[in-house]
Amino acid sequence: MQSDMASVNRSRTPWLIFAGPMYGSVNGLEILSVDPPFVAAVEPLLLQHQVDLALFGHVQNYERMCAVYQKQCLGMPVKDANGIDTYNNSNYAAPVHVIIGKAGFRLDSFTPK
């Protein structure tokens, strides 16, 4: 992972996107590490290589968090004139974490024919 991130030409590809769940929250009140050993191993790489966005799949859920590092919000969005959340990407703080629903989660039983 270190060599993959280091090999990206950031002039040609100015963004890095990472997929692998690291954080979630309880009712939006507390940031929780999903897998602390994974976070400890991977999070420093995300910060070192200035990963902009981390996308995660989860059980039919959506949650966008702030720019997070070590369970702390380092960069909060600011509402623009239209009330839309925006981030100041000129001053990198940490990856913004997004949890999105994923395909394949079974909500109902399925009996193959």
The ranges assigned to domains in the chain are 2-101
Of 30-34, 41-45, 89-93, which gets the smallest average pLDDT? 30-34
Q: Mean of the pLDDT values across residues 2-21?
A: 82
Of 4, 108, 99, 104, the C-alpha closest to 49 is 4
pLDDT tens digits for range 52-99:
777 776 655 666 677 888 888 887 778 889 988 777 767 778 888 777
Q: Residue-wise over 71-101: b if at least 16 C-beta within 10 A, else e?
A: eeeebeeeeeeeeeeebeeeeebbbbbebee
Highest mean pLDDT among 3-7, 87-91, 96-100, 109-113: 3-7
List the Cα angle 47/52/58 in 5-degree steps.
100
